[in-house]
Amino acid sequence: MLILLPPSETKRPGGTGVPMHPAAWVHPGLNSQRAVVAEALVALSADPERAAKVLGLGPRHLDDIRRNAELATAATMPAVDRYTGVLFDALGAATLPAAARRWLAAHVHIHSAPFGPVGALDAIPAYRLGAAVSLPGLPSSKRMWADAVSQALEEAAPDFVLDLRSQAYVALGPIPADVPSAYVRVVSEGADGVVRALNHFNKRTKGELVRDLAQTRPRIRSRGGFLAWAADAGWDARDDASGEILLGARTTAD
């Protein structure tokens, strides 16, 4: 099973690793797009005023623009440790044992705006770029990435993809029809029996789910396999007529 996660706008600064080396990352077929986008982001960020306008940033985010300008030479850290925020705080990768982190490396990719999907332990620098931003001199982010990411996912040939991305990142890399997959929507069933999508707990639930998977390290190769694991692990996960998997709160505690 391959799990696709969205990135986070907030990131941990610094790092101890050498500058980014995309040749060591997953999906090497994306390296030409990665190089072009990174170069454009660095060039844009050499002009902080223009970069702020293009990236939609205010005066408080000048450090983010400086980090973009230093992208090629900046220190790195594993992607799953770089990202912060509700989802990644709930996942708590830094507190997982080595075996669980190895499972993340093998099964989790995080879909970034400047690099496309990267492995959980691929070493990346800090950056600031949103999915909807089109960089000067380049096609739209969708045109830049969608076909290339879809092809990369097809070439990876996973048995099954559990898609936890936001719709903005799904648009930057739709999963090919011949790759078995399921999009996960976090929901809650009210007292009236109506199922509603959750916003506030969406990211936290996804982070807790991936943490649970990393701790238990199941061998899941299909949609049915995931649903069976979820039921055994106390998660409320069910098929929906739309083809999605509806995920509710966990029904049992750790």
Model confidence over 104-142: pLDDT tens digits?
A: 999 999 999 999 999 999 999 999 999 999 999 999 999
The conformational region for residue 212 under phi > 0 = left, psi -120 to 50 = alpha, else beta, is alpha
Does 197 score more than 90 pLDDT? no
Q: Is pLDDT larger for residue 145 or for residue 193?
A: 145
Is the pLDDT at 254 greater than 90, yes or no?
A: no
First to last CA, the chain: 23
- In this prediction, residue 252 has a pLDDT band, given cuts at 50, 70 and 90, of low
- Is pLDDT above 60 for 236? yes
Percent of the chain, pLDDT > 90? Answer: 90
Task: Report pTM.
Answer: 0.94
Distances (CA, A) of 108 to 81, 142, 215, 252: 13, 22, 13, 24
Euclidean distance between CA atoms 71 and 219, whole angstroms: 36
Compute the distance between CA of residue 156 and CA of residue 76 in angstroms, rounded to an integer.
25
User: Is the pLDDT confidence value at 253 over 70?
Assistant: no
How sure is the predictor about 194, in pLDDT bands with cuts at 50, 70 and 90?
low
Cα(18)–Cα(124) distance, integer angstroms = 9
- 136-189 tens-digit pLDDT: 999 999 999 999 999 999 999 999 999 999 999 999 999 999 999 999 999 976
